[in-house]
Amino acid sequence: MRVGVLTGGGDCPGLNAVIRAIVRTGALDHDFEFVGFRDGWRGPLEADIQALDVNAVRGILPRGGTILGSSRTNPLADSAAAGGRSGLERVGANLESLGVDALIAIGGEDTLGVAGRLADAGVRVVGVPKTIDNDLSATDYTFGFDTAVNIAMEAIDRLHTTAESHHRALIVEVMGRHAGWIALHAGLAGGANVILIPEHPFDIEEVCNYVEQRFKEHYAPIVVVAEGAHPKTISSSVVDQQLDAFGHVRLGGVGQLLAEEIERRTGKEARAAVLGHIQRGGTPTAFDRVLATRFGIHAIRAVADGAFGQMVALRGTDIVRVPIAEATRELKLVPPERYAEAEIFFG
């Protein structure tokens, strides 16, 4: 069997570990051949491929990024249509002409949404969930998340010492889109003064009270804010109104807004640090390498079993199969009781 592999959407640490596990398991256990599609859905849309065999995946386990490249190309968008064919039809036709019998799509909500549509159209697809945001409802964890949390936690640890030297409040803005998982975990692990997440709109007065309380105890406050967090009075924090191919706005800027407001209201110096793409770069943690490797092994087994339209997922410590549609049905958000655990340590 000839199996195509692609990585779509925002990259994250662990993608190379999945690719390696897919190719090594497929070649060794099933004698499969592989073809790599470049830059997410752009690859099958434009028949842009690269060689993918055991030699090509040697040494990539600890490497961040993806050897296949990634993009947010959306075959479902009107712009993907060409020559009288829709984007989905172009993908299907290219898979056929390249002799690709099955496809493994590694991605988040958007990439898997396209995979689901292709599966409905009869294409033999298996999904692998990935995102640093950890917001896919069908799996307990996605790889990339643990690495992002550890990077953010280390940043918070470092900011603590400099904040204390200068008696400043430091505001750390982390990624996560509309989910507060990265902020919640990094903030808890880093001993944040207060953690602000999109699921729980904040009251600026209350945030300032926490900050002042921390100063009174002669500690400098670290405020961890998710990029999607917003005050009760405003519905979202958006850097610009530009939309990507999947219709997402670019989030960000809430850290700076908070710093200005905290400084104005408390009279204490406040600065913002935006971690941005640092959270997506570099080598994956051991947890992410292991999870990614297990996802890869189980994805190729799903292909061998003909379990198309399915995605691998982590449930407890087991890797299971779930319909791809389940992963994209709704976002997995931070439940109030998890936020309440973090609130114990605020102030």
Residue 133 found at the interface with ligand F6P (CB under 6 A): yes
- x/- string (CB under 6 A) for ligand F6P, residues 297-336? ----------------------------------------
Closer to ligand F6P at the Cβ: 2 or 250? 250
Residue 32: other Cβ atoms inside 10 A: 19
133 included as an active-site residue: yes
Cβ of residue 227: shortest distance to ligand F6P, in angstroms? 6
Report the first-to-last Cα separation within the chain, whole angstroms: 58
Helix (H) or strand (E) holding 102: strand 102-107
Binder of ligand F6P out of 175, 270, 297, 324 (CB under 6 A): 175
CA distances from 169 to 141, 174, 216, 299 (A): 32, 16, 12, 46
Cβ of residue 280: shortest distance to ligand F6P, in angstroms? 6
Q: How far apart are CA 178 and CA 262, in angstroms?
A: 23
Cβ of residue 245: shortest distance to ligand F6P, in angstroms? 10
Residue 176 found at the interface with ligand F6P (CB under 6 A): yes
Region binding ligand F6P by CB under 6 A among candidate stretches 91-99, 175-183, 325-333, 334-342: 175-183
Binder of ligand F6P out of 5, 23, 251, 274 (CB under 6 A): 251
Strands 125-129 and 102-107: parallel
Q: How far apart are CA 1 and CA 52, in angstroms?
A: 14
Q: How far apart are CA 172 and CA 187, in angstroms?
A: 9
- Beta-ladder partners of 173: 225, 274
Both tokens assigned to 267: 């009279």
Check 11, 110, 133, 135 and give the catalytic one: 133
Q: How far apart are CA 169 and CA 271, in angstroms?
A: 6
Region binding ligand F6P by CB under 6 A among candidate stretches 46-54, 174-182, 254-262, 285-293: 174-182
**Site of interaction with ligand F6P (CB under 6 A):** 10, 108, 131-133, 175-177, 227, 251, 280
